[in-house]
Structure 1
Amino acid sequence: MANIKFYPHKGTGSSKVYLRLNIGREKDFRLSSGLTIENAKDWNHTTNLPKENTPKNKKLKNRLNDLSKELGKFIDDIEKDEAKGLFDIESKHIKSIIQKFNNLEPIKEKEFLVPYSKWFSNDLKRRTYIRNNVKLYYKQNTVDKYLNFSKILEKYQKHKGHKLKIKEVNTRFAADFLDYLTDIEKKSINTKGRYIKRLKTIVRDSQLNGCKVDPDYMNIKGFQDENIVTFLTFEEIDQIIKKEMPNERLQIAKDWFIISCYTAQRISDLHRFTKSNIQTIDGDKYIVLKQFKTGKNIEVPIHHIVRDILKKYGNDFPPKFTDNEQSQRSILSSLIKDVCRISGLRQKVQGRYNGKKGLYPKYKLISNHTGRRSFACNFYNLKDWSTQLIMNITGHVNERNFLTYIDKSDPTLSRIASAKFDAMEKEYLSKKEAQLKVVNE
């Protein structure tokens, strides 16, 4: 007869949850379940499961019950197997079931690049990283990026005609991979730079897990193209606000774009805006949200232009074109280009279009991210707005990342500076004229 019991490894605080599996008097296994309870004081020692006093503990209890069922099924199968018996069960068998249950099956082809990259991508789901002394889990978006990179590696492997080994990866390998990304995949410079960084990250991780590597891989460097920021000035945003759109679909896209220009939020957060995000704090209205990408809590004061748009929709946000975020992202990106074209933003400016740098009509360079960049650039140039004040709304973690939004090479900033100099000169001349008048009198 088998008996399964769970218990926390420690008495207080965050603790690994262990299991004890007894099979008769001969077999007694004690292994980590791979799961953790946030506070061991929340453990119910009568049921040998967590108390259901928090959503996380409820989820943990369900997971442990599911694991118990998996182990129970394994034992039942062994009992029915005429060739095996319960006393044939070893610790490694139980450990394998736990790993499979937690999606942590060890990689079988550790020396090969493509299988390892897939394992690494899926293993990110359980990993954490530290930001500002806070432990965070990798988001599914990051996992998906690495899974997509694994597919690129798989295509490259097919192109090369042999299984790629991790120990092959060095600067020569990276150079050939870059040629493939350029000539066959037709990737942009920034995409290629990100892929090279991911390649190095995966190889470094394999080294930490005992795989043989070529030390030369450490000389592989990621890169990015020259940063070109396209943003709209306050005057250009006003130009869009004043222009009537020819149909409702474009009007809705225009309203979403204006909201982004005065809230500085990413499309992933705009897509999640509902009336419930509008809250009154100390008598003023704010858009309160937890940013999807960073998990940071933000309170965005509602600008009067945003307030006017909300009033138009009955104090609600404009309707979405679809509930699917990727589709909404694609539709808006296309429509706001039309909005800017109709609004007359056709002057040619330096930018990157379809990955190629050159002079293009400005409306072609507008994207879902332009509103966020416009907020950062415009308010950065207002003397009463500090960088920290702006970052409090954009949600940037550090000033270095924020300043990538401020394009030093964009001529618009120089024109703004020139206008400020002109205003300073007028003020200077006015004061000088007043002083001369006093002297003459």
Structure 2
Amino acid sequence: MAGLEPKFILKEPNRETHTLIYLFLNWEGKRLKISTTETIIPEYWDKENQRPISNKKLLRNLAPILLKELSILSIRLDEIDLFVNDLILDQKRDNAVSLDVIQRKLLEFLGRKMIEEAKPVSFIEYFTSVVTRMENGTYLTDKGTKYSPNTIKSYKSNLLLLTDFEKEIGYINIEEIDIDFYNSLLQYCNQIGFRTNTTGSVIKRIKAVLHTAFEEGISKNTIFQSNNFKAVKEKVYNIYLTTEELKKLIDLPLSGTYEKYRDVFLIGCYVAQRYSDYSRISPEHIQTTGNGNKVIDLVQIKTKQRVLIPFLFPELDTLLQKYDYKVPKIVEQPFNRALKKIGELAGIDKEVVLTENIGGETKERLVKKYELITSHTARRTGATNLFLLGYSAIQIMKVTGHTTAESLMDYIKVSLEENADKMATQIETE
């Protein structure tokens, strides 16, 4: 019974970051593919031996902690290999080789017994297992990093929604999720008053979990690939603050917590970063270029993109000096509430028409501009004001960390009137 040798293959062998290690078995035209849930950076993988590299010359300059990780991984793969070969030998003796049996017992060995034994497989149970693995760090992002607390929180909220939805429609079998399920879920989200983009986020996470279930051999359902099973989305009206409105915030007499919140937000507006990045600026991030220009040198939390932020606004240096170049620690939720009040106090009260799709109905309402200020307004404000100052998209992308002009333009919130004025000014100066 040749051809039943287990093989370990990397999911994405050309990646520069961690990738999953899969176990493959072929038998009589059938193929078994199971994720070991283990990961490795391809640079440290020996494709021929299907194990982490063991060449002493290659290992010589590696950090001790990495050497230990590779050693532990090699032992773990040896254990899986031995377990599978023992299963195969047992089946050969009985002349009854079954990939289904091997899959079931291997999943049990890998700690996924409860999921595999559920017949049919419960989507709720599998979704729960993914969230649990996110929390303990054994389920990683495509970049080989752990999921952020905010992302895990979003998946948990999604799980609660699905649990309530299951009470409405009955048991959700992962193999039976189809377009009817999708349409019913859209209708349910409308009934409970979700905005279109909130529903879209729910669908996006469901697609991600279904994809993982397929990749791990838990499910054969490929509905997540369908163009009809899409994450709905609508363009959201997001604001930015003009330089005049930023001046109003600067001139606003504040003290205590409100003063600190205002200052942190303004720093975000002048560096055009996400809250997770501008809220952690410290003295070690302040550097000087070869030409003597002071910059903020950051590696962004979300994308791992390195950015150099020049001090283009004197207000930025003044604010950072105030806190010895260490942005004070704050909590984002009360921060967002406080920003609206601070905006109101500063007189940022221009009325804007807000159009939203809520519960499947398009609604318009007038709101004061300060009601729409959040921690993320700072990033849009920074990007837009840099654009209005005449910097090119490429220059701005080097600061914001956007990798495409298209994604950057989602952050440029220039009105038709502002765009016309900008173009007229450019003509006058040529």
TM-score by length of 2: 0.70
What corresponds to 2:44 in structure 1? 39
Q: Which of 233, 250, 256 matches 2:264?
A: 256
Instruction: Give 1:99's aligned amino acid.
Output: L
Shift of 1:143: 5.0
CA contact (8 A) 1:230 1:365 kept: yes
Q: 1:377 to 1:201 in 2, by over 3 A?
A: same
User: 2-side partners of 1:266 and 1:301: how far apart?
Assistant: 16
CA contact (8 A) 2:240 2:378 kept: yes
Shift of 1:398: 1.5
Q: Does 1:99 align with 2:104?
A: no
Shift of 1:15: 11
User: 2-side partners of 1:169 and 1:331: how far apart?
Assistant: 39
For the residue of structure 1 that corresponds to 2:385, the secondary structure is helix
Q: Does 1:291 align with 2:300?
A: yes
Shift of 1:354: 12
User: 2-side partners of 1:422 and 1:35: how far apart?
Assistant: 55
Note the 1:10-409 alignment, pairs <5 A.
Answer: 34=38, 36=40, 38-39=43-44, 53-61=63-71, 99-100=110-111, 107-109=116-118, 111-121=121-131, 125-126=138-139, 129=142, 136-137=143-144, 139-141=146-148, 142-160=151-169, 162-184=170-192, 186-207=193-214, 209=217, 211=219, 213=221, 218=226, 219-245=228-254, 247-282=255-290, 283-303=292-312, 304-314=314-324, 316-321=325-330, 328-351=331-354, 357-383=364-390, 385-407=391-413
What corresponds to 1:26 in structure 2? none
User: Alpha carbon RMSD of aligned pairs, Å?
Assistant: 4.5
User: 1-side partners of 2:219 and 2:76: how far apart?
Assistant: 33
CA contact (8 A) 1:252 1:318 kept: no
For the residue of structure 2 that corresponds to 1:273, the secondary structure is coil
Shift of 1:213: 4.2
Shift of 1:337: 1.5
Shift of 1:97: 7.7
For the residue of structure 1 that corresponds to 2:117, the secondary structure is coil
The higher relative CO (CA closer than 8 Å, separation ≥ 6) is in 2
What whole-Å deviation, never above 9, does each CA across 1:42-96 have from its counterpart, x for those lacking one?
96689xx9997343223444677899999xxxxxxxxxxxxxxxxxxx9999956
Shift of 1:226: 2.5
User: 2-side partners of 1:212 and 1:96: how far apart?
Assistant: 16
What corresponds to 1:85 in structure 2? none
Q: 1:206 to 1:39 in 2, by over 3 A?
A: closer
Instruction: Give 2:410's aligned amino acid.
Output: T
For the residue of structure 1 that corresponds to 2:367, the secondary structure is strand
Instruction: Give 1:307's aligned amino acid.
Output: D
Identical positions, percent: 25
CA contact (8 A) 1:352 1:365 kept: no
Instruction: Give 2:200's aligned amino acid.
Output: G
Aligned residue-pair number: 367
Shift of 1:269: 1.1
Larger Rg: 1
Shift of 1:392: 0.8
CA contact (8 A) 2:240 2:384 kept: yes
Shift of 1:296: 0.7
Shift of 1:235: 1.6
Unpaired segments ≥5 residues, structure 1: 1-7, 19-31, 71-89, 130-135, 322-327, 432-441
User: 2-side partners of 1:15 and 1:377: how far apart?
Assistant: 36
Q: 1:332 to 1:286 in 2, by over 3 A?
A: same
Instruction: Give 2:418's aligned amino acid.
Output: I
